[in-house]
Amino acid sequence: MFQGVWLIPVIVGSLYSLVCLTCVLIARTKSVLPQNTPTGGWPPVTILKPVHGLEKNLEQNLRSTCRQDYPHYQVVFSVQHKHDPTISLLRNLQAEFGPELVTVAVENCQAGSNGKINNLIGGLAHARHDVLVISDSDVRLRPDYLKTIVAPLEDPNVGFVCTLYRAVMADTWFEKMELLTINAELTPNIIFALMTGSAKFCLGASTAVRRSTLDEIGGLSSLADYLVEDYEMGRRIWSRGKHMVCLPYFVDTTVDLKTAMAWWNHLVYWDQNNRAARPGALFSTIIIRPVPCAVLFALSTLGSWFGVMVVAGAIIIRLTVAGIVMRWGLNDREGVRALWLVPFRDVAALGSWVLAFTKRTTVWRDTEFALTKDGRLVLQEGAVCGGSLSQGTTSVSQSR
């Protein structure tokens, strides 16, 4: 009976991966068409881009924000400290594209423990328009992005719009592990939730919302202590009867991890995000983890021939599905080349899943916080909280 328990996740998880593959391929056929001009014309937009530190590919990511095929928009690059090393780059972009397009905001706001929200509050003070697009600093945008994400807001019943994303530019083995977490695990699960309607979510790396909608839910400052600020924002919006729209449109997010420990902390952080948003959903994901559970089954049979065959079968199905998802679903050749790392990532993810329920602290931008039961961040005694927390992360309230 004990051995049979481990076979359940192997079977269920393998079937679930095939369902996710189907959802991804269907979503791929639903490409976003070029947007027609709304009845009232394109509304002026402010893009809020919180920045901290000289990240990999930063200049290209920021420059892509300034090259949108859109009639009237403003880009606000916000930093928390006047000594931030990115300021000279931001000033150069402002000089190149003009102050009418680019605003550089240097504001040391401390509304709470969530550094991304602190940074966004500083940028929002310089925003000139009611329609806001929040785009993380590690996200690269195509020229049609702004029209694509803003168009659904023509419907007054739409509360916010977000887009899908895929990881790119992973160099080291641990950056490739991070890329696989996003492209072979998180994004397919998000698409499953989107296609089946099994869960609602808000992807904070790429979101459009009206300023008036933010005011209705208490403003950005009311989100400043939440670990999963994007999910909390989305939850408040749809709880007021507004609709969410997630477009089958991909933006690219650059993977930038300096050490293997940074990767591990971020893997745990992903699961802590999901536990904070929907702990029951995260707990249930134990039944859709075929590779690590197949290994546990093989160990329980003392390495029997049948146990080894179960492991081999689970890995073959996992690699096949992940390869098709990344190559034909996400057009991700990087992930396909790193496919051999997927089983190791999956085994490591079982450890991060356990820690998500047992670890009461989280590391965010090298700062340690305690986590409350309602998903809030509390700075650990003796820790220093600065503007280094300017970049948030995305969570999804669904089985992952």
> Cβ(133)–Cβ(45) under 8 Å?
yes
User: Length of the chain, please?
Assistant: 400
Its pTM stands at 0.90
Q: What is the average per-residue pLDDT within 58-78?
A: 97
> Cβ(162)–Cβ(244) under 8 Å?
yes
Q: Which domains does the chain have, with CATH numbers?
A: 2-27+262-378 (no CATH), 32-259 (3.90.550.10)
Encode 40-54: b = buried (16+ Cβ within 10 Å), e = exposed.
eebbebbbbbbbbbe
Tell me the pLDDT tens digit for each residue of 72-84.
Answer: 999 999 999 999 9
Tell me the pLDDT tens digit for each residue of 274-306.
Answer: 888 888 889 999 999 999 999 999 999 988 999
> Cβ(311)–Cβ(294) under 8 Å?
yes
pLDDT at 293: 96
pLDDT at 373: 74
E-assigned strands of 27-157?
A: 45-50, 73-79, 102-106, 131-135, 139-140
Tell me the pLDDT tens digit for each residue of 130-151.
Answer: 999 999 999 999 999 999 999 9
DSSP bridge pairs for 246: 162
Is the Cα dihedral 96, 97, 99, 103 positive or negative? negative
